[in-house]
Amino acid sequence: MKSLNISTIFLALAVIICISCYSVECYKIGVGRADITGPPVEVTFMGYANLKQKGKGLHLRQFARSFVVEDPSGNRVAYVSADCGMVGYGVKREVIKRLKDRYQDIYSIDNVVISGTHTHSTPGGFLMDLLYDLSILGFVPQTYEALCQGIYLSIKRATDNLQEGKIFLSKTTVLNANINRSPSSYLMNPEAERARYEFDVDKDITQLKFVNLENELIGVFHWFAVHPTSMNNTNHLVSSDNVGYASMLLEKHYNPNKLPGKGKFVGAFASTNLGDVSPNIRGPKCQKSGNNCDVLTSRCPHEEGECVASGPGKDMFESTQTIAIRLYEAGVGLLQEESGREVTGDVSFIHQTVNMTNYSASVYNPLSRKMDKIRGCLPAMGYSFAAGTTDGPGVFLFEQGETTSNPMWNALRDFIAPPTQADIDCQHPKPILLATGRAAFPYEWQPKVVPTQVLKIGDLILAGIPGEPTTMSGRRLRNAIKKSALESGGGEFDVILAGLSNLYSSYIATFEEYQAQRYEAASTLYGPHTLSIYINQYKMLTAAMMTGKSVEKGPEPPYLNDKVLSLVPGVVFDGHPIGKDFGAIKFDAKRSYTINDVVTVTFIAGNPRNNIFHEKTYLVVERKINERWKIVLTDADWDTKMHWERTSTLLGFSDIRIEWTIAPNILPGEYRIRHFGNYKYILGGIFPYEGVSRTFNVTNNAKL
Ligand SMILES: *[C@@H]1O[C@H](CO)[C@@H](O)[C@H](O)[C@H]1NC(C)=O
Ligand SMILES: *[C@@H]1O[C@H](CO)[C@@H](O)[C@H](O)[C@H]1NC(C)=O
Ligand SMILES: *[C@@H]1O[C@H](CO)[C@@H](O)[C@H](O)[C@H]1NC(C)=O
Ligand SMILES: *[C@@H]1O[C@H](CO)[C@@H](O)[C@H](O)[C@H]1NC(C)=O
C-alpha cells in the first residue's frame, strides 16, 4: 500500500514535470526589481550636463528591473532596465563581479545586458570616462555603489525567483507620446528609405510578457523610443521621468495595495532608438515670444528667448504624467487584449568588444553608390554638441561666454590635445570642438573600445547598443540584424534594440544625418561611418551566433576605477539650531485639508546623503485606522515630494520640506507625515533621527 502510494506520487510528479516543460516552448523565467536611487542632493544630474542642475530632493525613486530567461538546455540570459541616465562599463563590470561571487559562472559580461532608461533627472558621476563625469565634477562613489548594488540585487531577485513559464511578444502604437527633435536631420535620409515609414519617429511599443505555467502574469517589459526628458533642466528633484513613472503605474496596477517598489509583479518601460526623439510633443518654441524656432538651427532671435520644447502638460510634472499615462495605458491595453505571439526556441548570446578607432570595412556608400573603404575615427565632439538640444539647450560643458564656470573644466581644458589633420579629415564634415580621443590626461575622456552584444531568446533578438541610435539608425540596425539572422539560416526574428546598454558612447546618427551636424551628429563620436561600423559588427555577431561560431573577445576596455578624479565633497557635518533637534518641526501642517490641497511640513534635518535608504523611505504619509497608523504613501509616490535645503553651510543646518498633494482617491480621516533621516555628528559618526507632524484631518468637502 505504502510503496504503491510513493510510486504513484513519483509517476504523477514525472508526468507533471514532463507536461510542464518538456519542449523548448517552455523556459525558466524570473523577474526582479531593486532600488538604485542615488544621492538625492548636492550631486549634479546626468543628462543635460548642466552643472547648475544639482539634486535638491526626491520626487520618484530609481529602480532597476530585470528578467532572466533560461532554456531547457541551461542557456541563460539576463536583461536589466535601470532608471538612470545610461550604463557605464565600470558599472557593468562591477555588477558581473558581484554576480560571479554569488553564482560562479552563471553570469558573465557576455550574457547580461544592462540598459539605462536615459532619465535626465538622476544623479551622475558613475561613468568614469572623464568627459561624461565632467559636468558632475567627477566620479561620485555613492552614485556608483547605489547603481551597482541595486542592479546586482535586481538580477539576484530574478534568479532566486526562477520558475517555469512562457514569454509572449506583442506590439501596438502610441501616436501621441513622441516627436522628432531634429526633423531637418531626419530629412537628410534618402527619400525612398523615408517613404517606407509613416512617421519620423518610431511610434510602436514592443511588449514582452512573462507568465508562469498557472498563467499568472509575473512581469512585463516594454520598449518605446522616447527621451525621458519630460522633466526639463530646471528640475532639481530626483525623478525616473516619463518611462519611470509609466513603470510605476503598471506595477501599482498589478501589485494592488502595495507601496511603490514592492510587490512581486515587475513592469518596465525601457529605452531603444531614442536618439532624436523627444517627449515634448508641443514642439520647440521661443520661450519668450512663443513663436516657432528656426527649423535648421533651433535658434530664436535674441529677444525671443531660448528655443525650448515642452508639453503636452501645463508644466513639466503634468507633461511627465501625461506621457507616462499614455505609455502605461498602451501596455495595459495589450495585456487585456491577451494579444501577441508566443516566443519559442533556444536561448543564446554573443558579445565582442570593438576598438572603434581602428575599425575598417568596405561598405556601400549611398551618396556615391559605390563600395567605400570606411574606418572609425578617434572620438571627437563637434561644435553643435555644445549647443545642446531643444530638450535642454546650450549647456553641455559651458554656456556661451561662460567657459570658466566649471572648476573641473578649468583644471583640465589644457590637457585636450588639438586634433591632427588626420582627425579633422576622418571626422569631416564635423568641425571638431573637443578632440577627446587625443586626450589621455589624467585618463580616458571618451571610450575607444565599446562592447557589442546580441541576445537570442527563441525567435526574438535583443541587441545591446552602447549609445543612442537615432530613429533611422535604429531602423537600419534592426533591419540589418533581421536580414543577417535570416540569411544565416536562423529564420524570421523580431529584433529589439536595447539602447544605452553596457557602456555610453553618446549618439549614433546615420551617415546622411551626420552631414547636417545637428546635436546628435555632432555627438556621434567615431565619425561619419559610426553607424555603418555598428551595422557591420552586429550583422557579423548575429550570423556568428546563428551558426554557432565563436568570436574573439576583443580588447578589454580600460579599468578606470583606480584613476577617477572626484571633486564632489562629502558631507562635512550636520548641525541644528539650539533648542531644535534633528527631526524637530520648523513649520507644521495645518489642522485640516481637503482633496487637491498640498500639505507642507518642514523639519530640521540632516543631509540625505548620510543614508540613501534603499528599499526604505525618507518619509511616510500615515492614516489613522482604529487607533493604529497605517502607511499610505512613501517618498517614491508621485504625490509626495521631498525638498532639502542647506540653511547654513557654516553651522551645517538644513531643512527638509515635505509636500503631499492630496489626490482625489484619498479617504477622509486623520493623517500625519513622518520624516526619517540620518545626521553626521561633528565629532564623527552617523546617527538616525525622525520627526512627525501634527495629526491633521483630510475632509472631502469641496472648498466653498
Ligand atoms: C521647464 O518647465 C517649466 C514648467 O514646469 C517651465 O516654467 C520652464 O520654462 C521650463 N524650462 C526649460 C529650460 O525648459
Ligand atoms: C585602439 O586602436 C587605437 C588606434 O589604432 C590604438 O591606439 C589603441 O591602443 C587601441 N586600443 C586598444 C585597447 O586596443
Ligand atoms: C586595432 O588595434 C589593435 C590594438 O592596437 C590590434 O590588435 C588590431 O589588430 C587592430 N585592428 C585593426 C582592424 O586594425
Ligand atoms: C478631525 O476631525 C474629527 C472629527 O470631526 C475631530 O474629532 C478631530 O478633533 C479632528 N482632528 C483635528 C486634528 O482637527
For residue 388, what pLDDT is reported? 75
Residue 120 has pLDDT above 70, yes or no: yes
- The answer, yes or no, to whether residue 131 has pLDDT greater than 70, is yes
Q: Which atom of ligand 1 is nearest to the CA of 310?
A: 14
Residue 65 banded pLDDT, cuts 50, 70, 90:
very high
> Residue 329 and residue 327: Cα distance in Å, rounded?
5
CA atoms within 13 A on the CB side of 257: 1
Domain residue spans in the chain? 10-336+346-355+447-547, 585-699
Answer whether residue 17 shows pLDDT above 60: no
pLDDT at 320: 98
pLDDT of residue 395: 43
Alpha helices in 547-701 (DSSP H): none
Structural contact between residues 79 and 272, judged by C-beta atoms closer than 8 angstroms: no
Q: What is the rounded CA–CA span in Å between residue 61 and residue 638? A: 10
Q: Tell me the ligand closest to 392's alpha carbon.
A: 1
For residue 435 and ligand 1, the question of a CB distance below 6 A is answered with: no
Work out which ligand 4 atom sits closest to the CA atom of 695: 13
- Ligand 4 atom 5: the closest Cα is on which residue? 697
- Looking at residue 89, its amino acid is Y
Q: Which phi and psi (to 5°) does residue 538 adopt?
A: -70, -30
State CA 143 to chain mean position distance.
14
Whether ligand 1 lies within 6 angstroms of the CB of 232 is answered as yes
The rounded Å distance from CA 357 to ligand 2 centre is 7
What angle is formed at CA 177 by the lines to CA 174 and CA 183, rounded to 5 degrees? 110
Predicted local confidence at residue 410, as pLDDT: 65
Ligand 4 atom closest to the CA of 670, numbered from 1: 1
Q: Whose CA is nearest to atom 11 of ligand 2?
A: 355
- The H-assigned helical ranges of 89-140 are 89-103, 130-134
Q: How far does residue 233's CA lie from ligand 1's centre (Å)? A: 8
Structure confidence at residue 501 (pLDDT): 98
Which ligand is closest to the CA of 698, given by its number? 4
pLDDT tens digits, residue range 432-481? 888 999 998 889 999 999 999 999 999 999 999 999 999 999 999 999 99
CATH 2.60.40.2300 correct for 585-699: yes
3-state SS class at 549: coil
CA 402 to centroid of ligand 1, rounded, Å: 21
pLDDT of residue 6: 56
Residue type, 566: S
The CB-side HSE value for 479 (13 A sphere, CA atoms) comes to 11
Q: Whose CA is nearest to atom 8 of ligand 4?
A: 697
278 classed as catalytic? yes
First to last CA, the chain: 79
Q: Is 421 helix (H, G, I), strand (E, B) or coil?
A: helix
Q: Is the CB of 233 under 6 A from ligand 1?
A: yes
One-letter amino acid at 539 equals K
Contact 392, 229 (CB under 8 A): yes
From 240, 278, 506, 654, active-site residue: 278
Which of 593, 594, 670 to mutate for ligand 4's pocket (most ligand atoms within 8 Å of CB)?
670
pLDDT(398) > 90: no
The whole-number average pLDDT for the span 191-220 is 97
Q: Indicate whether residue 357 lines ligand 2 (CB < 6 A).
A: yes
Give the number of the ligand closest to the Cα of residue 537.
3
* Ligand 1 closest atom vs CA 306: 13
353 Cα–ligand 3 center, Å? 12
Distance, CA of 673 to CA of 655 (rounded, Å):
15
Query: Which is more confidently placed, 388 or 692?
Result: 692
Running DSSP on this structure, what letter comes out for residue 462?
Answer: E
Quick check: 393 pLDDT over 90? Answer: no
- Note if the bond before 429 is cis, omega within 30 degrees: yes
Whether the per-residue pLDDT at 20 is higher than 60: the answer is no
Ligand nearest to the CA of 310: 1
- Which ranges of 78-187 does DSSP label H, i.e. alpha helix? 89-103, 130-134, 141-160, 183-186
User: Does residue 559's CB lie within 6 angstroms of at least one atom of ligand 2?
Assistant: no
Residue 344, pLDDT above cutoff 80:
yes
Ligand 1 proximity of 315 Cβ (cutoff 6 Å): yes
Check pLDDT > 70 for residue 12.
no
Q: If we measure between CA atoms, which residue out of 446, 474, 470, 466 comes closest to residue 518?
A: 470
- Rounded distance from Cα 232 to ligand 1 centre (Å): 6
Is pLDDT of 701 > 80? no
Ligand 3 binding residues, C-beta < 6 A: 355, 358, 360
591 close to ligand 4 (CB < 6 Angstrom): yes
Per residue in 415-436, pLDDT (tens digit) is: 778 899 999 999 999 988 889 9
Q: Quick one: pLDDT at residue 417? A: 81
Look at residues 406, 366, 409 and name the one whose alpha carbon lies nearest to residue 189.
Answer: 366
The closest ligand to the CA of 361 turns out to be 3
Q: Which residue's CA is minimally distant from atom 14 of ligand 2?
A: 555
Secondary structure letter of residue 556 according to DSSP: P
Mean pLDDT, rounded, for 640-652:
96
Ligand 3, atom nearest to 355 Cα: 1
Q: Whose CA is nearest to atom 2 of ligand 1?
A: 316
Q: What is the pLDDT of residues 306-315, one digit of tens each?
A: 899 999 999 9
Q: Which of 354, 358, 375 maximizes ligand 3 atoms within 8 Å of its Cβ, making it the mutation to test the pocket?
A: 358
When pLDDT is averaged across residues 40-47 and rounded to a whole number, the result is: 96
Task: Using the predicted structure, report yes or no on whether residue 650 has a pLDDT greater than 80.
Answer: yes
Protein residue closest via CA to atom 1 of ligand 3: 358
- Residue 286 predicted with pLDDT over 70: yes
Strands 619-625 and 468-469, by their bridges, are unpaired
Cell numbers at residue 35, please?
532600488
| Residue 655 clears pLDDT 90, i.e. is over it | yes
Higher pLDDT, 563 or 384: 563
The count of residues in the chain is 704
Q: Which pLDDT does position 401 carry in this prediction?
A: 36
618 or 13: which carries more pLDDT confidence? 618
The residue whose CA has the least distance to atom 8 of ligand 1 is 234
Candidate of 288, 310, 391, 395 to mutate for ligand 1, largest count of ligand atoms within 8 Å of Cβ: 310
Q: Which atom of ligand 1 is nearest to the CA of 235?
A: 1
Cell numbers found for residue 130: 572623464
Helices 241-254/316-337 angle, 10° precision: 40
Which is higher by pLDDT, 190 or 302? 190
The ligand with the least distance to the CA atom of 356 is 2
Q: Give, for ligand 1, the residue of 52, 120, 234 to mutate: max count of ligand atoms closer than 8 Å to Cβ.
A: 234
3-state secondary structure 496-540: EEECCECCCCEEECCHHHHHHCCHHHHCECCCCCHHHHHHHHHHH
Ligand 2 pocket, residue 554 CB under 6 Å: no
pLDDT, average across residues 492-510: 98
Q: What is the pLDDT of residues 150-195, one digit of tens each?
A: 999 999 999 999 999 999 999 999 999 999 999 999 999 999 999 9
Centroid of ligand 4 to alpha carbon of 617 (angstroms): 28
Q: Is 696 in the pocket of ligand 4 (CB under 6 A)?
A: yes
The pLDDT of residue 74: 96
Q: Which of 313, 272, 308, 276 is nearest to 292 (CA)?
A: 308
Which ligand is closest in space to the CA of residue 388? Answer: 1
**Res 521 pLDDT > 70:** yes
Contact 7, 122 (CB under 8 A): no
CB-based contacts of 657, cutoff 8 Å, min separation 6? 587, 600, 601, 602, 603, 642, 643, 644, 645
Tell which one of 697, 700, 701 to mutate to probe ligand 4, the residue whose CB is within 8 A of the most ligand atoms. Answer: 697
Share of the chain above pLDDT 90, in %: 83
Neighbouring C-alpha atoms within 13 Å toward the C-beta of 221: 27
Rounded to whole angstroms, the Cα distance separating 498 from 322 reads: 24
Q: To test ligand 3's pocket by mutation, which of 355, 357, 373, 378 has the most ligand atoms within 8 angstroms of CB?
A: 355
Query: Ligand 3 centre from 555 Cα, in Å?
Result: 9
Q: CA-CA distance, 445 to 202, in Å (whole number)?
A: 32
The pLDDT value recorded for residue 24 is 46
Closest residue to atom 2 of ligand 4, CA basis: 697
State the maximum Cα–Cα separation within the chain, in Å, rounded to a whole number: 94
Is 121's C-beta closer than 6 angstroms to any atom of ligand 1?
no
What's the whole-number mean pLDDT along residues 14-27? 56
Helix, coil or strand: residue 67: strand
For residue 85, report the distance from its CA to the centre of ligand 3, in Å.
31
Question: Taking all residues of the chain, what is their mean pLDDT, rounded to a whole number?
Answer: 92
Q: Give 145's pLDDT tier (boundaries 50, 70, 90).
A: very high
